[in-house]
Homo-oligomer: A and B are copies of this chain.
Amino acid sequence: MIVVMEPNATPSQIEHMVRQIEGLGLRSHIIRGTERTVIAAIGEKRGQAKESLETGPGVAAVVPILAPYKVASREVKSEPTSVVVGSLAVGAGALGVIAGPCSVESETQILDTARAVKQAGAGALRGGAFKPRTSPYSFQGLKEEGLKLLAAAREETGLAIVTEVVSPEDVDLVARYADVLQIGARNMQNYRLLEAVGGCGRAVLLKRGPSATIEELLLAAEYILNGGNPNVMLCERGIRTFESHTRFTLPLATVPYLHRKTHLPVVVDPSHGTGHSYLVTDMAAAAVAAGADGLIVEVHPDPENALSDGYQSLNIDQFRALMIRCRAIAEAVGRVVEPAEPSPFIEASVATIR
């Protein structure tokens, strides 16, 4: 951490800051420049409330040197983490595709979708049973009934199940049915929920909040990792900017940037990231080219009559075309986009819910 003093800082102000730094258990080191003095604080530990140094007399700014996250960082673990859950393999070369409707609506809808996306090559089925909806007047999901339909779809197709959990008290229930628990963008900083999934024994797909920085995303992951759960996938799903022709702005540079900073795999959601079905396939292809470890795509047999998110859902034919294009790009750069072989883990989880 570097404490930058004002140009006119007095010797006693500098001395005061040295004492403050040392009071935090750090060593201080003064560097006198031609226009300003800066004080390096050596030995800092993550999580100290050191920004309060900024309020010290004569202080212009405090510049942190260490990233605030630890367990998620490449510095601590340099090899990429691969998350393999039944038929879904994400990271370390493999490109996993998660596809399915925004909401589970009915048995027919979810089973038809599951069969179709599996046939097209997806590795997992997504579908919301607990829906966090902006409006209290919108469809809120089928709850446990939806989870049962997802489990039935897994039993028939062998696809791993990805579904959202919105509250700590639901974690056990959702974990009984699902292979991967999704933390939605609006819950990225719901710390109780992060702690709860840290101990749930299932893999987690953690979506970036629409105004979260990369540091905040990795600190959210750190909550889960610290709970003892190493199977965390990060998901870029778009940020809020002034652009209004897309629902969110999908900043794909996040993918290679995260690969430098963390060992966790990075999944991209081109459906929420654009908000228009006609942009999804191009952005899925771009994500693969940028090095994404996975895709999560909204697919619905009849988007025009979907109960939610129809405007950003692909129909089955469009999803097949997406898979063909993404596979071509992945192969062109030497990567694999096949579902993993269903593993005993899946069998076990299917067994559990019976």
A126-167 residues at the B interface, CB under 8 angstroms:
132-139, 166-167
State the CA gap A134–B188 with chains docked (Å). 10
Closest residue of chain B to A281, judged by CB?
A: B256
Closest residue of chain B to A260, judged by CB?
A: B278
A253/B257 in contact, CB under 8 A: no
B240/A253 in contact, CB under 8 A: no
State the CA gap A321–B277 with chains docked (Å). 33
Whether a CB of chain B sits under 8 angstroms from the CB of A245 is yes
Whether a CB of chain B sits under 8 angstroms from the CB of A200 is no
Chain B interface: which of A116-124, A305-313, A343-351? A305-313
Given contacts A260-B278, A332-B329, contact A214 B169 (CB under 8 A): no
CB distance from A40 to the nearest CB of B (A): 5
CB distance from A210 to the nearest CB of B (A): 5
Which B residues lie within 8 Å of A36 (CB)?
A: 65-66
Closest residue of chain B to A282, judged by CB?
A: B256
Which B residues lie within 8 Å of A249 (CB)?
A: 239, 241, 249, 251, 253
Whether a CB of chain B sits under 8 angstroms from the CB of A252 is yes
Given contacts A40-B38, A251-B249, contact A306 B52 (CB under 8 A): yes
State the CA gap A256–B279 with chains docked (Å). 6
Q: Which of A135, A167, A283 has the most C-beta atoms of chain B within 10 angstroms of its own C-beta?
A: A135
B251/A243 in contact, CB under 8 A: yes
Whether a CB of chain B sits under 8 angstroms from the CB of A223 is yes
State the CA gap A35–B73 with chains docked (Å). 13
A55/B286 in contact, CB under 8 A: no
Which B residues lie within 8 Å of A138 (CB)?
A: 47, 49
State the CA gap A211–B169 with chains docked (Å). 26
A300-343 residues at the B interface, CB under 8 angstroms:
303-308, 310-311, 313, 325, 328-329, 331-333
- Return the contact of A239 from the options B241, B288, B306, B308 (Cβ within 8 A): B241
State the CA gap A44–B132 with chains docked (Å). 22
CB distance from A17 to the nearest CB of B (A): 10
State the CA gap A315–B132 with chains docked (Å). 40
B283/A253 in contact, CB under 8 A: yes
A-B contact pairs, 25 of them (CB 8 A): A2-B63, A20-B304, A31-B42, A32-B42, A49-B138, A68-B134, A135-B219, A136-B219, A166-B190, A166-B192, A167-B192, A169-B169, A186-B209, A213-B245, A214-B245, A239-B249, A244-B244, A245-B257, A250-B253, A251-B251, A253-B274, A256-B279, A285-B289, A285-B333, A331-B332
